Every structure is written in C-alpha cells, then in structure tokens.
C-alpha cells in the first residue's frame, strides 16, 4: 500500500514536471494558460456615438464579464472603417488587441485601397450583427416617398445630395446600387462615419441621409422621415416603411460585421475569445443595443464567420465589375 502511494506521488510529480517543461518550452502556450492577465483593447473603426459604436460598447461590456478583464473601446475612425481595421491587422497577435471587422474590407481589398487580405491577415472570432440601412430626409423635405425622391433625382441629374459614412462603404455602394436600379444620378457627400453624416442632414447641409439606423430615434421624434429600408423584409419598428424591394428595386444590403484579431493568434487564446464573444452576442446588453437600432443579431462562430467572409469576397468581385466601382471611387 505504501509502495503504491509512493508510486502515485512520484507519477504526479513527473506529470507536473512534464507539464511545466512543456509550458516553459512554449512561452505562447504558457501565456495562453493565464490569458487574459490585463485589459484588452477593442478597436472600433467608427466614431464615438454612431450605431456601430453603441452596439460594440455593449458587446464589450458583456465580453469583459466572461473574460474577467476590462475590454476598452478605442475609436479609430476614417476611410469607411479601414483606418481602424489596418490598426487591428497590424497589431501584435497576443490577444490584447481585438476589434470590429467591417465587411466592406472584402470590397476595399479588391479595389486596392487597403493592403489587407481578409482571408489571410485576420483571425475571425465571431460574426455579431447585421445593420438596418435606410434612406431618410428631414421632416420638412418636399419628398414624402421614395417615388418622390426618384422623380426629383431624374428631374435634376447629379444635383440631389446624399450623406454617407464614407467613400466605398456599405452606405455609399448600396446607394449607388439603388441609383443604378432607379436610373438616376446622385451627388455623394462622404463623411468619416454615420454620426457626422446624420448631423449634416439634421443641420440642413445635405438633403438625404443613408445610414444604418442612426436615423431611427430622429424618425420617431419627427425630425426625419424614413423613405425606405434596405433589408430583405420590413423592420419591426417601422412596419409601414417599404423596403427597396417593396418599391420595385432588387437591392438588399445588410452588411453584417463581426469581431476579429490579427493573424497568428494563439489557438487557445482564440478559443477563449470566441467563447467570450459567443456569450456576449447573446447577452441582454448587446441584444438590447441591437433592438434599439433595429439591427438583427446574426451570430456565427469564428470558423463559420470566415467561411461567410469568403463567400462575400466572391460576391463583391461581381459587384465591383457591375457597378464599375473603381471609377466610382475615383470620383469620390
């Protein structure tokens, strides 16, 4: 009995020593075992106060609870989300820098305007939510419907102005796709994010706003009029407002975004983050933030998210050619 006990003790010591030796030989694995040991930076590639900023902050609060460390949002806006994404892709892959991945990287990478390969330069952690895009005008606008807007644009080609969150982003390209379908020419006024575009329209500097739900509280307050949304079905909050498809235009834009990290992330750290953001996506904070702006939760785990991005790369290749986006970007 005593011999068996001694043997068991020696075996435990040997196993413990072996494990310690493995960790010592592999410092990345050692760090992963204690991860996270300090606060994590979350790069939001959009301005403070916009719809993406609101939902990502709620997501980070919930993720921090699972991780046991703060997840601190750092806004790096500009270039339709690509400035922040470049900062994310070039960060050290140690698990302490994560961020939102705008799906428009699948377009910009093929247009040559950002040196990021979305299928090689990023680690995908979770697809989180889609966006409810819409076309809105000030309450005092003469345009009461989308048909009115189209008629005005046809009467004055290239004169009617619309504000978007940036050149080549989902709102810009989506509006140009609609303009092509409607047979009109519009005057695009780009901003650094949806929050700035919203203020430009509320201030009377631009005639039309295209954005993802920043218009919602202002429509409800009677300051803006929503003419159409871009999803495949009408929104819960604005059931009386037609989709572009309802209005006769075969255009659907939802542009789901997600969370990622630089390539080269330790698999054990990636697994920890994937689980944290899986839980966070289902959290009351995040779902409530999405409901406030009528954004659908569209969760996918990291590997499935990457497969989805691969399909979008193929779709964008077709869209770039059909809309002649390289020429469009050159005009701004």
pLDDT digits (tens, 9 = 90+) for 22-52: 444 455 454 677 899 999 999 999 989 888 8
Q: What is the pLDDT of residue 20?
A: 47
The pTM score is 0.76
Distances in Å between the Cα of 311 and the Cα atoms of 80, 118, 122, 158, 250 are 21, 12, 16, 33, 20
Please give the Cα distance from 113 to 120 (Å, whole number): 17
Instruction: Answer whether 34-129+256-325 and 133-229 agree in fold.
Output: yes
- Residue 332: the pLDDT is 61
Rounded to 10 degrees, the C-alpha dihedral 232/229/47/292 comes to -80
How far apart, in whole angstroms, are the C-alpha atoms of residue 148 and residue 18? 75
Question: Which pLDDT value is given to residue 29?
Answer: 55
Q: Say if residues 132 and 229 touch (Cβ distance below 8 Å).
A: yes
Regions in the chain scoring below 50 on pLDDT: 1-8, 12-16, 18-25, 28, 30
- Predicted confidence at residue 134, as pLDDT, reads 96
Contacts of 297 (CB under 8 A, 6+ apart): 128, 129, 281, 282, 286, 287, 290
For tokens 């413990």, the residue is 16
pLDDT of residue 31: 60
133-229 sits in which CATH class?
alpha beta
Contacts of 72 (CB under 8 A, 6+ apart): 39, 40, 41, 42, 60
Task: Check if the beta carbon of residue 41 is closer than 8 Å to that of residue 98.
Answer: yes
Other CB atoms within a 10 A radius of the CB of residue 252 amount to 15
Answer whether 113's CB lies under 8 Å from 329's CB.
yes
Domain limits, the chain: 34-129+256-325, 133-229
Please, are residues 23 and 33 in contact by the beta-carbon 8 Å criterion? Answer: yes
Q: How far is CA 131 from the centre of its chain?
A: 8
The pLDDT value recorded for residue 213 is: 86
Q: Which token pair is 116?
A: 């990021």
**Distance set, CA 33 to CA 17, 38, 64, 267, 310 (Å):** 16, 13, 18, 11, 31
Homologous superfamily of 34-129+256-325: Bordetella uptake gene, domain 1 (3.40.190.150)
Of 257, 163, 160, 248, the C-alpha closest to 211 is 163
Per residue in 172-214, pLDDT (tens digit) is: 999 999 999 999 999 999 998 888 999 999 999 999 999 988 8
């Amino acid at each position: 009995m005593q011999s068996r006990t001694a043997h068991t003790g020696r075996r435990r010591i040997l196993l413990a020593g072996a494990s310690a030796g493995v960790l010592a030989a592999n410092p990345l694995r050692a760090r992963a075992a204690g991860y996270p040991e300090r606060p994590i930076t979350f790069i939001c590639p959009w301005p403070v106060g916009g719809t993406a900023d609101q939902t990502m902050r709620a997501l980070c609060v919930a993720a921090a609870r699972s991780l046991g460390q703060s997840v601190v949002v750092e806004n790096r806006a500009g270039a339709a989300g690509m400035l922040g994404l470049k900062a994310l892709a070039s960060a050290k892959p140690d698990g302490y820098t994560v961020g939102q991945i705008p799906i428009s990287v699948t377009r910009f990478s093929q247009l040559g305007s950002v040196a990021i390969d979305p299928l090689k330069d990023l680690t995908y952690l979770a697809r989180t939510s889609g966006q409810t895009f819409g076309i809105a005008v000030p309450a005092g606008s003469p345009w009461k419907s989308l048909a009115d807007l189209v008629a005005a644009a046809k009467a004055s080609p290239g004169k009617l102005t619309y504000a978007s969150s940036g050149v080549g982003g989902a709102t810009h390209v989506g509006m140009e796709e609609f303009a092509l379908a409607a047979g009109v020419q519009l005057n695009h006024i780009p901003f650094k994010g949806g929050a700035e575009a919203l203020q430009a329209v509320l201030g009377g500097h631009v005639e039309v706003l295209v954005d993802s739900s920043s218009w919602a509280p202002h429509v409800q307050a009677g300051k803006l009029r929503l003419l159409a949304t871009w999803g495949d079905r009408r929104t819960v909050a604005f059931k009386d407002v037609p989709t572009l498809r309802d209005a006769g235009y075969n255009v659907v834009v939802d542009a789901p975004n997600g969370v990622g990290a630089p390539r080269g992330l330790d698999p054990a750290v990636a697994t920890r983050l994937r689980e944290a953001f899986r839980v966070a996506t289902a959290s009351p904070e995040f779902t409530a933030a999405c409901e406030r702006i009528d954004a659908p939760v569209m969760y996918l785990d990291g590997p499935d998210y990457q497969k989805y991005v691969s399909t979008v790369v193929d779709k964008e290749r077709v869209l770039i050619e059909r809309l002649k986006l390289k020429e469009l970007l050159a005009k701004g």
